[in-house]
Structure 1
């Protein structure tokens, strides 16, 4: 696919304009987006991505169009998985609800910059060394295996990484937020707020995500333009999607299995392509290996099929419903107890009402599924404490 500098310039200008619009019209004034707002803007960004794919299909042909959609869907699925980690990081730093949008937009911008760098580096390596496909395939197969591993004990402390500990040790920091400011004055001295630290944590995880997502999309297309646009459009609207499916994330209990299957499939596709283009002297004497190559149409069908099966299985699973409900109750209870969570009384009342509604749903579920949820006793204690705090508030 040959793309003129003019098309590149227009595409980049449109993406930058969308990011600027997001900041000045939605992020600049801290607020908590409503479900309707999140749904409308998520639909708009998905619609823009689909329209762009149709344009690629019409002007560049069905192969490039299919490659774009396969790449976009894969990157979007990986982005949803990334939201789990963003959720843990922001919970660890207790980011006020009304300021979470700014953190997410920073994460999206940083991810776009980091992945653009990886995209052009990957394209340069592929053009110079065909054996890079072996490395990309191996990365994806290892990542798929890691997704199937059970969660470790340290998974709930994603924010407490080396960079954050170093920043807290070397630089003057405070544990208190000052709106969405990155710096504040404390005892007459300028110090870092947790807002800057959480952005560093988000940025660090974005770099790790790029190491998985870029090889994945290069396994579907070698067009730098398609790789860039599919990645960019998959990130656009991620902020709105976070607020739209917040609470549904815990419900997707089989998403990691689906992503593992997709990454393993693309990893195998890359290895097969590497064998087909082989130049390494210790494999088949440096000659191309006659192997079956997986078509773009088959790739798109497998990706869509796996995601549909994964999502449906998660949504209808009684264990998934119980896990989502209990974890939502825990999150609402923690938010209600944390007086730094938000300064908006209406939001605090909304959180407590949501907690009560979630409890009603939980009590209608089979007890055996409720009891299997991780840390269930600790969650019950946390919910009980939230009710005690609310009772004291009502009686005061």
Structure 2
């Protein structure tokens, strides 16, 4: 455990808050849809800041804390990418206007940071007081790994849908957006707009993801400073990453398998550590069990290797390419047909151009995969409607 002075804690938290404020003032307050170049530049900036911070820990804390930070950061970043899948589903299901998606995402990041901070200090207090918590954390990760292997995992969706139903039952809501306002007036009464409801949905998924991610990083390090900073820097830049890899999210078809393997590995690591520190009466009469422990360097190697193989396999997979191009074509056609999606003429033209590119990619697929795309009647209908609407405008 590193001995971190209070001043370093204050400066670190102040720096993280400053980055969030900067993000809001210079990027989110002015509603717009980020270009690919903008998203790439700022994603690189945030990753660079996180890596530089890790080098500082490596220089002043030593090799072991440095390895723990990088293992934690990479794991949390990978889990954050998985979170983006659910964010994408929520944002699309609520038909959030393109210009306002940044605001929703930034709220989700800030809320996630607050929730995870609470969970981190609660988890640290439990670990310090009760050694058996390692068994609980290990079990949570093993169960989560199993759930990730289920087809079309719906944990995030179910959590958000429950939050939405409760919100709509308790409060007066509208079915239309009023710019980026959270409240509007309907029939002379104040009502919640879908903008606030979608934020509630994002908050619900944040709480669920915190239950998974916090035990994962505690399986790599029990240093609260490293746990907090690795989580914070993994979340920072997530908004830009969303727009940068939006088209690639559906391509990473094996990511859930890779994350399941990583969480299972960390779960086993926690169980072994729990046995090594055992004080539970009905296990070995309350005495520690002499078992092998997995060090941080091995954990870091396993995490990098699994993620590398997973991403490469996804990108090289023909099925992944088919799934990515059909999903993107469906989304772009639906967005083009939705008059409320965006008011920017340039963005609407960009969407239609992307749709044309995806149609060309579908035509270039092999006969088997091309026929599979053509068999999806809803996709064919959406594309046809988009072309008719574009021709009418011309």
3-state DSSP of counterpart to 2:260: helix
Aligned 8 A contact 2:172 2:192 in 1: yes
TM-score (norm 1): 0.96
CA deviations 1:25-45 (Å, max 9, x no partner) are 111110111111100000000
d(CA) in 1 for partners of 2:203, 2:94: 14
> 1:372 Cα deviation (Å)?
5.2
Alignment of 1:108-123 (within 5 A): 108-123=109-124
Partner in structure 1 of residue 368 of structure 2: 368
Any idea what SS the aligned residue of 1:190 has? strand
Give a deviation string over 1:311-369, Cα, whole Å, max 9, x none. Answer: 00000111111110110000001101111101112211111111011110111112323
TM score, norm. by length of structure 2: 0.97
Q: Distance in 2 between matches of 1:353 and 1:121?
A: 49
Partner of 1:87: 88
**Cα displacement (A) at 1:171:** 1.5
In structure 2, the partner of 1:56 is 57
Aligned length: 393
Gaps of 5+ in 1: none
Residue aligning to 1:74: 75
- Maintained 8 Å contact 2:86/2:156: no
Note if contact 2:72-2:220 (Cα within 8 Å) is conserved in structure 1. Answer: yes
Please report how far the alpha carbon of residue 186 of structure 1 lies from its aligned counterpart in structure 2 after TM superposition.
2.4
Q: Give 1:170 deviation, angstroms.
A: 2.8
Distance 2:155 2:127 in 1: 34
Counterparts of 1:293 and 1:156 in 2: how far apart (Å)?
33
Tell me the residue number matched to 1:329: 329
C-alpha change, 1:332 and 1:96, in structure 2 (3 Å) is same
> How far off its partner does 1:155 sit?
8.0
Separation (CA, whole Å) in 1 of partners of 2:187 and 2:301: 60
Q: How far apart in 1 are the matches of 2:277 and 2:62?
A: 24
**Kept after mapping to 1: 8 A contact 2:160/2:205:** no
CA deviation after TM superposition for structure 1 residue 293, in Å: 0.3
Distance of aligned partners of 1:373 and 1:229 in 2 relative to their CA distance in 1, 3 Å threshold: farther
Partners of 2:160 and 2:202 within 8 A in 1: no
Equivalent residues in 2 for 1:1-396, closer than 5 Å: 1-151=2-152, 161-371=161-371, 376-394=376-394
Equivalent pair of 1:323/1:370 in contact (CA under 8 Å):
no
Q: Secondary structure at the match of 1:246?
A: coil
The gaps in structure 2 that reach 5 residues or longer are none
